[in-house]
Structure 1
Amino acid sequence: MIRQDSLGDVPLFHEDETAFREKKSNIKHPLACFFHLFFRTSAVLIYLFCEFLSRSFIANMVTIILLLSCDFWTVKETSKKVVSNSDSRIFWFGLIVCPVFWGFFVFSSLVSFNIKWLAVVIMGVVLQWANLYGYVRCKVGGGTKLRNMATNYFGVKLFKKVLNQPQGP
């Protein structure tokens, strides 16, 4: 039994304490989640504020690419372990949102004719989308599994359509 008071939820009995802790903290890999978002967010922030951080284009470019690469290795090592639903939500949120930012940066670089930074943002898009594509492919399965799912789906639709057609006299 859990009691509600001014301090929040507090377990009343020792038996409920473990269930209470699991409910409160269901992120199994907080460091991996933190660094996953940290590396991605840092790369975006460095791109946005690079003029204030350093005048060196090369230093900024290398820093952005290293941050995006570190994110890949952090997530790759954690993906081999059992994760919770919260870990999964954080992972997919970062994996989907950041490529959208880099896609926007490509568009803004093209519109502003900032060709120098276009190479950096294209690298960001390529690294982020490759990461997203790889994990989506792992989640859905290889090309054969995906092809079989599509074939089965369209086969069932065609079969239902044939069955629903009126028969001749």
Structure 2
Amino acid sequence: MKLDNVDDDVSLFDAEEDSASRKSKVKHPVASFFHLFFRVSAFLVYLLCGIFGGSFIACMVTIILLLSCDFWTVKNITGRLMVGLRWWNQVDDDGKSRWVFESRKQTSGKQSSAAESRIFWLGLIICPIVWVIFAFSTLISFKIKWLAVVVLGVVLQGANLYGYVRCKVGTRTNLKSMATNYFGRQFLKQTLTKQEES
């Protein structure tokens, strides 16, 4: 299995943005809505199934469908539109599987807004954490029948998180150096802000 990181410009539906959408903070409101809709819906169905006494099979199928729609939407649409990232698995003619991680160059005319980027990354990071918490609560409360659903939530949302982190970080840098750079910038920003205030 071969891993690639492509820094070339990603073609994103080849649609030009009109001037009205450039002015708004969220350039793709429908994509932003559906980025969170399926995730939150899966959480709500999981949490409210026990309260309203729905059948386990109906709740499980609904949650799995919502998680699958979320995985497909995030992987194929919202990642491209909201942050200019995409990843996929490609099988070559000789049968070798290779993973491709792409990121749009920031110098291109299609830059994502800060609001969309924040929505994308918060949804992408927080949701797998919530599913992990659900997994622990399922084990602690001995509701083992829900464990398969919760594990599926962790796997599908974790796979998207892993894929997009690989797109963002790339293969040349590692997560540790990215975290060090981020915290260094935050420390420098706080120091400069405090000096300006005094």
Q: Which one has more relative contact order, counting CA pairs under 8 Å at least 6 apart?
A: 2
The superposition leaves residues 54-106 of structure 1 with CA deviations (integer Å, 9 ceiling, x where unpaired) of 63212211211211221222222232334321111100010011111101100
Corresponding pairs, count = 128
Partners of 1:113 and 1:52 in 2: CA distance: 17
Two-structure CA RMSD over aligned residues (Å):
2.3
Q: Cα 1:71–1:110, aligned 2, differ >3 Å: closer, same or farther?
A: same
1:1-150 matches, within 5 Å, as 22=23, 25-53=24-52, 55-75=54-74, 76-81=76-81, 82=110, 83-142=112-171, 145-146=172-173
Which stretch of structure 1 is more off in the superposition, 64-73 or 107-116? 64-73
Kept in 1: contact 2:134–2:150 (CA 8 A):
yes
Partners of 2:121 and 2:33 in 1: CA distance: 13
Structure 2 alignment gaps of length 5 or more: 1-18, 82-109, 181-198
For normalisation by structure 2, the TM-score amounts to 0.58
Partners of 2:162 and 2:150 in 1: CA distance: 18
Kept in 1: contact 2:35–2:78 (CA 8 A):
no
* Sequence identity (%): 64
Kept in 1: contact 2:35–2:73 (CA 8 A):
yes
Kept in 2: contact 1:54–1:60 (CA 8 A):
no
The superposition leaves residues 116-148 of structure 1 with CA deviations (integer Å, 9 ceiling, x where unpaired) of 011111111111111111110111113xx136x
More strand by share: 2
Structure 1 alignment gaps of length 5 or more: 1-17, 154-169
Partners of 2:120 and 2:49 in 1: CA distance: 26
Give 4+ residue runs of structure 1 displaced > 4 Å after superposition.
Answer: none
Kept in 1: contact 2:128–2:158 (CA 8 A):
yes
* Bigger radius of gyration: 1
